[in-house]
Chain A
């Protein structure tokens, strides 16, 4: 029995130590990102618009699409409406089983082009290539199904501009998103090799002509909690990691890369579920030793709106996939851990990710289990537990509050009511969303250890982004037949 007690004690101390380190590091990151945003505000003032650069590069946007018939037309219209020239858009239909290609053909008057040959990256074979007669900047390729990475690599093979962007089919870009992202490349053209934009949640927002005009925070908990989570993790934390040049991921939903380097390192991997993160880690691993100044940046003001999984089941599928991808990538690129030649990636980002993302869920779920067991045996020191819970809640809420302030200072996209909702969801998620998320990640770790791969799963699309159908004019009643 004493051994069990000793183990419980050791685990409890480990959990406590983890909590202290986690709190200090995440709060430091949040404070750093807040500082960065305030600094940007002092530098640029309100309503900053990037200068129009005279020698700016063209961008080829690649949009992988698999069974996206509900959202693909508004998404493409939104991309073609982006305020950027020169621009070309390649939609790659990855063997969809629905009418993705048909709706595109109808909406954009597609004409067939010869397929040709000489594709640099190896992919499943292309079946057809089209150009839009309505807007020749739009190309559509259809190919045999090979997965998201394969579709993107096929699009990169066709892309002709110096910069290539990857945008998900269930996403919308702000009109100035590309100009803002290219500003980061133009400011330091010799060193910046990739730039990611901010991904925000579109659910509940008002979309007009393919543009998010009024983002709103959904009242439903699943999407609402994700807004708070995206603000903390996809905005606040990435501002800080980018400032340290320690960014490990550019979201698959919206990122821009130098085409020669994207192809040069072999394109997206088809062997991992976290292909977007893997590419960024590969760029760090291959480029930093030979070009120490190389930078992978985050453009916080370049915004992409995406549809968050609306239910628990699709959210679980997504999170298990993300976590498996993370574990794959940490294993694949373990060589960088703790190595000075990889700069902040080796010394800060990777150790932090291992501590928080790999050990975090294990310790978190173990902690919940210990509390439940002790409660069952009526062995909980309630004063201690309540005090600890209070501090945990306050730390989490402080992180959310700082992320809200960063958002407010830098962007001010949400209404006052929405900010209150974000704060509310940030507080409540500690009791259901965080434990669930930890459980899913632990499950993903278990599957990964025993060598079982989760699939991509299917996430229902369309509710947040599909435009309402045009109202048909009311027809006069048909005369009664005589």
Chain B
């Protein structure tokens, strides 16, 4: 066994070995110390920030009270706002947003005018160009909450921000402000998904009301599957129900299952008096998610013609489709025109999905 230890000993006697060991160990020790110092230094800084934040929050609450009541002196407010430091500005913005969240449009307008007069809107617009993405996003959200329509061009610019978080904050802000100048840029974002959450852009477009109708109509023929899906919901939300059903009927024959399922779901949200034949046929679609959505939608149509389709769906090979068919039949039983026949069918049919739906109904879970 002798040579193994001597080999190590020989290493250990070399000056380079100790030099290298000391260097590596020294660097590792230094890195360890630095990391622990950063951890505990950060802790100390956070404690100090929390203390200053608590003190400032009280002061800020008074300032916001003045603004909301419209009793502020614009000059004095301007001085106070311009003196806010790096810690205080985001706190003030966040508190302002929380305060405005439940506010009415008129209360919001009072605050907006006060902030505008005090130069705070300009400050927020300038903050849209700050280096830290969270500060840009916070400024965008605050501008949206306040409803600062003068910030629309700057917010539109933020739609191409490199941070997704900022882009989505800008989309939401533009939706909240509801200015038609945002329609074009939001449409582009909607048609090319991936840069911001599809649901967020959809909501912002909805907030623009009737102006968004052509966007959703056009979206129904998009080459992007996700755009067609979202457009189905958009059309159902902004158009008159009868017009929407006419627009959506061709979507029940879309080659993609996800689009057909979305179309079926929207038909359930805007039911007419008679069930459209393609919707009833969708209960036999080869894709389970389409059948699921179709069967659920049929429960909203006060039309006895839906009954045979729902009864057949109780035997669907997918458990969830069968359960939804049971639930739809029970719902149908509550409707005036189809209710009598539906209740009779329920009494005559022995099927576990129906039994399940009746238990759910008795518990108020439907």
Chain A contacts to B: CB under 8 angstroms: 1, 4-5, 8-9, 12, 42-45, 48, 51, 53-56, 111, 113-120, 131, 133, 136, 157-158, 160, 186-187, 189-190, 260, 374, 377, 379-381, 383-385, 387, 390-391, 394-395, 397-398, 401-402, 404-405, 408-409, 412, 416, 419, 423
Contact = CB atoms under 8 A, between A and B. Distances in A.
B199 A398 contact: no
A114 B135 contact: no
A55 B198 contact: yes
A190 to B, nearest CB: 7
A45 B135 contact: yes
Contact of A53 (B199, B320, B359, B364): B199
Given A45-B132, A416-B40, A118 B138 contact: no
Among A114, A136, A380: residue with most chain B CB under 10 A: A114
Interface string B348-360: 0000110110011
A160 B360 contact: no
Contacts of A385: 8
A117 B315 CA distance: 10
A45 B35 contact: no
Interface in B195-231: 197-200, 202-203, 226, 230
Given A115-B352, A379-B2, A381-B12, A131 B360 contact: yes
B269 interface: no
B344 interface: no
Given A51-B197, A381-B11, A114 B24 contact: no
Contact of A423 (B9, B36, B226): B36
Contacts, number: 160
Interface in B1-49: 1-9, 11-12, 17-18, 21, 24-25, 28-29, 31-32, 35-36, 38-40, 42-43, 46
Given A189-B226, A381-B6, A384-B11, 8 more contacts: A45-B90, A113-B356, A136-B363, A136-B365, A187-B164, A377-B1, A379-B5, A401-B36
Interface residues of B, number: 65
A312 B154 CA distance: 61
B21 to A, nearest CB: 4
Interface string B84-96: 0000001000000
Contact of A114 (B2, B46, B352): B352
B317 interface: yes
B163 to A, nearest CB: 6
Nearest to A42: B132
B9 A381 contact: yes
B168 interface: yes
Contacts of A1: 1
Contacts of B46: 412
Main secondary structure of the interface of B (DSSP, over half): helix
Nearest to A407: B39
Contacts of B11: 381, 384
B309 interface: no
15 contacts: A8-B1, A42-B133, A54-B202, A55-B230, A117-B319, A119-B319, A189-B198, A190-B226, A374-B1, A380-B8, A383-B12, A387-B21, A387-B25, A391-B24, A398-B28
B233 interface: yes
Nearest to B199: A55
Query: Which residue, of A9, A395, A398, has the highest number of chain B Cβ atoms within 10 A?
Result: A398
Contacts of A55: 198-199, 202, 230, 233
B56 interface: no
Nearest to A415: B43
Contacts of A383: 9, 12
Given A42-B133, A136-B364, A51 B168 contact: yes
B322 to A, nearest CB: 7
Contact of B31 (A53, A189, A390, A398): A398
B167 to A, nearest CB: 12
A12 B4 contact: yes
B21 A391 contact: yes
A394 B28 contact: yes
A34 to B, nearest CB: 9
A401 B25 contact: no
Interface in B325-346: none
Contacts of B43: 408, 416, 419
B1 A4 contact: yes
A394 B23 CA distance: 12
A387 B1 contact: no
Nearest to A129: B356
Contacts of A120: 319
Contacts of A190: 226
A116 B199 contact: no
